[in-house]
Amino acid sequence: DTAVSQTPKYLVTQMGNDKSIKCEQNLGHDTMYWYKQDSKKFLKIMFSYNNKELIINETVPNRFSPKSPDKAHLNLHINSLELGDSAVYFCASSPRPTIGQYFGPGTRLTVT
Amino acid sequence: QKEVEQDPGPLSVPEGAIVSLNCTYSNSAFQYFMWYRQYSRKGPELLMYTYSSGNKEDGRFTAQVDKSSKYISLFIRDSQPSDSATYLCAMDRDDKIIFGKGTRLHILP
């Protein structure tokens, strides 16, 4: 019955590797997001998709590439991981842009 | 000046007290004002949102917006230990949400 789910929950990897995080929502929402929460707990939007179309692409390195195969899924692929990528990544969804966002449990990424 | 300012705390209050959490903002373009609660190692959870100036009440929670002062507040009545969490204010513009840094709240039993 999980509304927004993410896999994996924890990800430990070495610098230079490529990794993916998956997100799925079963709420029927049209809009999905990726957020990054750093060690100081600051939550910042990275990407937003509405009906599979990219609508927000913040100043994020090109190594980060989102992909939305359908309205219920939004994945995040990260190439050439760096130490500074260590953070918690949250997926979220909402019926329309901005309002009423439901967050997933987060993926804790540690780059060593 | 940051768009959204929020005191990180921590804020410690005894159980049963009224808690007041606040944010200030600088951008008049913000339309919706939200409060999220985040427990340790969990995702943020939307508590309330308001569109205009004034008060909105939901159970023990009251959200207040003063657009003329660019100031929003969340009040928690009869605070409980289970209210201990980080509270983030958030505001929207241009289809994206800008979050405050969050205030850590501890309710002491």
The residue of A6, A99, A102, A108 whose CB has the most chain B CBs within 10 angstroms, and thus the best one to mutate to test that interface, is A99
Query: Nearest chain A Cα to B50, which residue?
Result: A99
If you search the block for the tokens 């993916």, which residue do you land on? A20
Strands B96-99 and A4-7: unpaired
Q: Residue A90's pLDDT is what?
A: 97
What is the reported pLDDT for A1? 66
Structure tokens at B47: 């508590």
pLDDT in tens for each of the 109 residues of chain B?
A: 689 999 988 999 999 999 999 999 999 889 899 999 999 999 999 999 998 788 999 999 999 999 999 999 999 999 999 999 999 999 988 778 899 999 999 999 9
> Over pLDDT 70: what percentage of chain A?
99
| Banded model confidence at residue A58, pLDDT cuts 50, 70, 90 | confident
Residues of A with CB under 8 A from a CB of B: 4, 40-45, 48, 55-56, 58, 90, 92, 97-106
Model confidence pLDDT, tens digit, residues A12-57: 999 999 999 999 999 999 999 999 999 888 899 999 999 889 988 8
B96 vs A4, A40, A56: nearest CB:
A56
Q: Please identify which residue in the block is written with the tokens 């993926």.
A: A107
Task: Give the model's pLDDT for residue A19.
Answer: 98
What pLDDT, on a 0 to 100 scale, did the predictor assign at position B51?
Answer: 85
Task: Give the burial class of A90: count Cβ atoms within 10 A of its Cβ; 0-12 exposed, 13-18 middle, 19 or more buried.
Answer: buried
Structure-token match 């959200």, residue found: B63
SS3 B82: helix
